[in-house]
Structure 1
Amino acid sequence: MAEMLRRVRARSDDRGFTLTELLVAMTVFGICVAMVFGAVILVVRKMDDAQKSADAVFTLRQAVAQIDRQVRSGNVLYSPASEATAGCFGDPTANSGNCMRIFTQSNGSEKCVQWQVLDDPGQPGSKLLRSRSWEPMWTTTGNVTGWSIVARGLRLDATNPFTLNGALTPYKERLLDVRLLAYDARTRSTVSVQSSLAGRNTSYGYTGTDCTPVPLP
């Protein structure tokens, strides 16, 4: 009987954790959870940066491939060095090498295509690549497409995006150097996507006036 009374008293004296012990345990648990979530967030951000960088480079490669097709089917490659007064609208301080025109063919139809790199109003400090096209007889037909944004997040350096090398006349053999820069968020640096393109029809003596006048924006 005495033994049973001692057991009952022992149980009644079992008071569990103190408030201080609970607070310490909760604090340690909170720190551990914060560390785990911090690591998860860091990994997610790294993955997001990697995906954005990959997407930016892929988009630029697609754009260069599109320009390549237009140049290879091109009749006239206009010099980007003289495009500052040829309808490169939207960037009054733009270098003349940031814009170019191509008189090309698509599915048997001739058209004029214009490409431009300029400031991106939606991303301060960044550039965008845009394109538009029109028919050679657009003053009669009115067929002019609006500007279409092809890529965002571009950068510029001392080298122009578009440089035309070769003969001085607009219809002789020429080589178009395209160099576009994308921002790599992983390394906080720029990645260059570049190519040298030659038109196969640019030696047949086109007058060079087929894409003039240039439509207003």
Structure 2
Amino acid sequence: MWSGSRMPRRRRDDDGFSLVELVVTMGIMAVAMVLATTAIVQVYRTVSATETRSDTQAELGRAFQRFDRELRYASWIATPSSQGSETAGPWYIEFAGPDPVDCFQLRLVAGAKADQGVLRLYSWKRGSPPAAGATGQSIASQIVTTDPAQPKPGEESVRPFFRKQKVGDPNPTPVVLPSAGAVGGNFKPVFQRLQIRLTTRTGTGYARIDTTFTALNTTDATPATNACSEGRPTP
């Protein structure tokens, strides 16, 4: 029985949507698109930065292979030092090859920017050191040579870049275990060893390589000085 009140009108399929519904829908879609685009861009940046750091570290590894034989079979390693100041460099390390008349030098020079540097390799026959201004062979670039102005707590310094361990010297960097104390403190090498620690900057990211070379042609009788030190400029 019809009571006389008006029945609600059913929406027909061709009635469409109101302006308010369209505005709300477009707003929701815009927010969703912004969130999706931001996520995609962030993933792309993260992947790109990771690939760049990996490529840079691999490039350093390949660069070290260029003089791996000379340094691994070195007959003498100098004491690393810097010219001028420890913070400004340049930083030097000389070594004699398997044939003692072959001399080599690794030189790390600060670049155009304060936190960028170039690692170069020099080689010569003993008695004929590189001439002043010689450029040498470029091994790697974009090397960080200055510590951050405010390093984070526990952040490791980028220096020293070169560290020599003489025959019989105790391990300078023992590993500390919470339950067992220091491990490796009693280790004493039977050869001279050279640790090279370099940090490269790639955009906002950093990559580090830490390699130790053992000079297999050195003994406890290897002299502390060698004529290959002639390649280091005097201050």
TM-score range, shorter chain: 0.5 to 0.7
Contact 1:131 1:148 in 2 (8 A): yes
Map 1:25-44 onto structure 2 (within 5 A): 25-44=25-44
The offset of 1:92, in angstroms, is 7.9
**Identity of counterpart residues, as a percentage?**
19
Size of the alignment, in residue pairs? Answer: 187
Map 1:163-174 onto structure 2 (within 5 A): 163-166=163-166
The residue number in structure 1 matching 2:92 is 99
Map 1:175-194 onto structure 2 (within 5 A): 175-182=192-199, 191=208, 193-194=210-211
Q: How far apart, CA to CA, are the structure 2 residues paired with 1:196 and 1:141? A: 28
Contact 2:158 2:198 in 1 (8 A): no
1:80 and 1:59, CA in 2 relative to 1: closer, same or farther beyond 3 A? Answer: same
Larger relative helix fraction: 1
- Describe the superposition over 1:36-81 as per-residue Cα deviations: whole angstroms up to 9, x where unpaired: 1111111111112221232233233334444542223324322214
* 1:212 alignment partner, SS class: helix
Map 1:65-104 onto structure 2 (within 5 A): 65-81=65-81, 84=83, 93-94=87-88, 98-104=91-97
The residue number in structure 1 matching 2:186 is none
* 1:84 alignment partner, SS class: strand
Q: How far apart, CA to CA, are the structure 2 residues paired with 1:117 and 1:140? A: 16
Contact 1:68 1:197 in 2 (8 A): no
The residue number in structure 1 matching 2:105 is 114
Does 1:197 find its partner at 2:196?
Answer: no
Q: How far apart, CA to CA, are the structure 2 residues paired with 1:153 and 1:159? A: 11
Q: How far apart, CA to CA, are the structure 2 residues paired with 1:140 and 1:181? A: 24
Structure 1 unaligned regions, length at least 5: 1-13, 86-90, 168-172
The residue number in structure 1 matching 2:51 is 51
* 1:152 alignment partner, SS class: coil
Contact 1:128 1:153 in 2 (8 A): yes
1:23 and 1:140, CA in 2 relative to 1: closer, same or farther beyond 3 A? Answer: closer
1:126 and 1:99, CA in 2 relative to 1: closer, same or farther beyond 3 A? Answer: same
1:210 and 1:120, CA in 2 relative to 1: closer, same or farther beyond 3 A? Answer: closer
Structure 2 unaligned regions, length at least 5: 1-13, 148-156, 168-189
Amino acid aligned to 2:226: G
* 2:57 alignment partner, SS class: helix
Contact 1:182 1:190 in 2 (8 A): yes
- What TM-score do the two structures reach when normalised by structure 1? 0.61
Contact 2:75 2:100 in 1 (8 A): no
